[in-house]
Amino acid sequence: MPEGVKYMNQAITYPAPTTISFIVTNKCTAACPNCCFECNPRNDCWLSSEIIKRHIVSAVTQWPSIRLVIFTGGECFMNIPKMLELCDFAKQMHLAVRIVTNCFWATSLRQATLILKKFKEVGLDEINYSTGDEHLQYVPLKNIVTAIKTSLLFSIKTAINVETHPDAEFKISEIFENPEIARLIHNNPNFSIIQGVWMPFTEEGISCIPPLPSRFPINLFDRCTNLFAGPVVSPENNLMSCCGLPVKYIPQMNLGNLSNCEITTLYSKNLKNFLRIWLFVDGPYKILLFIQSKINKKIPELYLFSHNCFYCACIYTNPNYYSILESYYREVVASVLFRYNCLIETNKRMLL
Ligand code: SF4
Ligand code: SF4
């Protein structure tokens, strides 16, 4: 795939970023076998608060379009004073703040209230709770229920992100069996459910990916809207192309270390690979279909049902697929760039 921001003699720009995300740490109270960042209690890499603040200042100065800062991990709540300080700082920069957590800390209503009261005081806007079969091995459902109840009582936007796959034992309905929760979430605009399609990261997990259902899921053709949404910084202070699940396993998604470089300078590197632009326009499933059309035989991954990032990881990590793209990408450059520019124009108007 060519490097350089000029394709077909046409200079292109990236859409104005709207978020900045920090994977604050790879340390976690849990050790889910399919954790996309391989987090566990033994890891101990944290992005320093000074670095995070520097990146926030640099990003909002360059891109006034940034409205939201996302703190995720690992488990950010393992260092509550740090997260309170960062949340406070981001609010002073007039940004909305979202934190993602597994709720290990919500062991009782009293404890959850003590903690979330402090976050409410510094202005936390949104909190996402992750759960599902793997998470529940480490964090009991009662913590999730307690956390939902508490954040909704504080009027903090609350989303629950559930690992979803056909054989999942945990069903979201279990949460609603609690009458108080059922009452709290009924017609509550502050509550939402995100059903993240499960993606495997272990050999054992890959063998469990289900086949495509007979009713073809239309969202397989989604383009990747995660790319170009805004900078993503890893605990090692690397700038990542996206915060997609397999990003840690795809070297091309690591844009470089930020220790000696401004985030705004390195971010433009995102445009320097045609495949990322193509993913933004067409999404990974369609690109795999393109590869299949060129090799004239079935690509097995196309007949499995997983997260869009799974198909993306197949493209990047299979040298045969990647070399097919290198041979044939020129056929689509004009069409992809035309549609890319249309998307950028639409995006500009939406931000006006
Ligand atoms: S709780 Fe989340 S961050 Fe922690 S190990 Fe599990 S998937 Fe990874
Ligand atoms: S589809 Fe690819 S580029 Fe998009 S978020 Fe997933 S890994 Fe990142």
In a domain, 2, yes or no: no
Domain count, the chain: 2
- The share of the chain scoring above pLDDT 90, in percent, equals 60
Do residues 174 and 77 share a domain? Answer: yes
- Assigned domain for 10 exists: no
Residue 239: inside a domain = yes
Atom of ligand 2 nearest to the CA of 247: 7
Ligand nearest to the CA of 36: 1
Please identify, by atom number, the ligand 1 atom nearest to the C-alpha of residue 34.
7
Three-state SS at 59: helix
CA of 102 to the centre of ligand 1 (A): 7
Any residues with CB less than 8 A from the CB of 250 and at least 6 apart, and which? Answer: 312, 313, 316, 317
Query: Does the CB atom of residue 246 touch ligand 2 within 6 A?
Result: yes
Q: Are residues 183 and 304 in the same domain?
A: no
Ligand found nearest the CA of 287: 2
CB 278 within 8 A of CB 290: no
In a domain, 161, yes or no: yes
Rounded mean pLDDT, 202-228: 76
Residue 7 lies in a domain: no
CA of 87 to the centre of ligand 1 (A): 21
Give the ligand at the shortest distance from the Cα of 101: 1
Same domain, 203 and 283: no
Instruction: Count CB atoms within 10 A of the CB of residue 45.
Output: 15
Please say if the pLDDT value at position 61 is more than 70: yes
pLDDT at 156: 97
Residue 323: CB atoms within 10 A of its CB come to 11
The mean pLDDT of the chain is 89
Do 259 and 292 have their domain in common?
A: no
Least confident of 3-7, 177-181, 215-219: 3-7
Please indicate, yes or no, if residue 5 is contained in any of the structural domains.
no
For ligand 1, mutation pick of 25, 27, 35, 136 (most atoms within 8 Å of CB): 35
Q: Could you give phi then psi for residue 297, rounded to 5 degrees?
A: -150, 160
Among 227, 243, 272, residue at a domain's last position: 272
pLDDT digits (tens, 9 = 90+) for 237-256: 999 998 877 777 888 889 99
In this structure, is residue 8 part of a structural domain? no
Q: Mark which of 272, 306, 327 sits at the end of a domain.
A: 272
> Confidence class of residue 13 from pLDDT cuts 50, 70 and 90?
confident
Which residue from 221, 241, 317 has its CB within 8 A of the most atoms of ligand 2, so it is best to mutate? 241
- Residue 324 within any structural domain of the chain: yes
Is 186 in the same domain as 112?
Answer: yes
Q: Do residues 308 and 193 share a domain?
A: no
Q: Residues 251, 346: one domain?
A: no
Residue 281 and residue 237 share a domain: no
Q: Tell me the per-residue pLDDT of 132-163, one tens digit each, with 9 for 90 and over.
A: 999 999 999 999 999 999 999 999 999 999 88
Domain edge (last residue) among 272, 306, 335? 272
Which residue owns the Cα nearest ligand 2 atom 8? 244
pLDDT of residue 269: 84
Statement to judge: residues 89 and 122 lie in one domain: yes
Contact 147, 106 (CB under 8 A): yes
Which residue's CA is the nearest one to ligand 1's atom 6? 32
Does the beta carbon of 309 sit less than 6 angstroms from any atom of ligand 2? yes
Determine the 3-state secondary structure of 289 from DSSP. helix
Using the predicted structure, report yes or no on whether residue 5 has a pLDDT greater than 60: no
Q: What is the mean pLDDT of residues 222-244?
A: 92
Same domain, yes or no: 24 and 117: yes
**Closest residue (by CA) to atom 4 of ligand 2?**
224
Residue 226: phi and psi, rounded to 5, are -75, -35
pLDDT at 14 over 80: yes
Contacts of 307 (CB under 8 A, 6+ apart): 196, 197, 198, 199, 245
Q: Is the CB of 31 under 6 A from ligand 1?
A: yes
Residues 261 and 333 in one domain: no
pLDDT level of residue 95 (50, 70, 90 thresholds): very high
Q: Cis (ω within 30 of 0) for the bond into 205?
A: no
Is residue 247 in contact with ligand 2, taking CB distance under 6 Å?
A: yes
164 lies in the same domain as 24: yes
Mutate to test the pocket of ligand 2, among 309, 311, 315, 318 (most ligand atoms within 8 A of CB): 309
Better-predicted residue by pLDDT, 345 or 258: 258
Using pLDDT thresholds of 50, 70 and 90, give the confidence band for residue 200. low
74 HSE (CA, 13 A, CB side): 25
Q: What is the extent of the structural domain holding 308?
A: 276-351
Which atom of ligand 2 sits closest to the CA of residue 224? Answer: 4
Cα(154)–Cα(201) distance, integer angstroms = 36
CATH of residue 33's domain is 3.20.20.70
Mean of pLDDT values over 247-271: 88
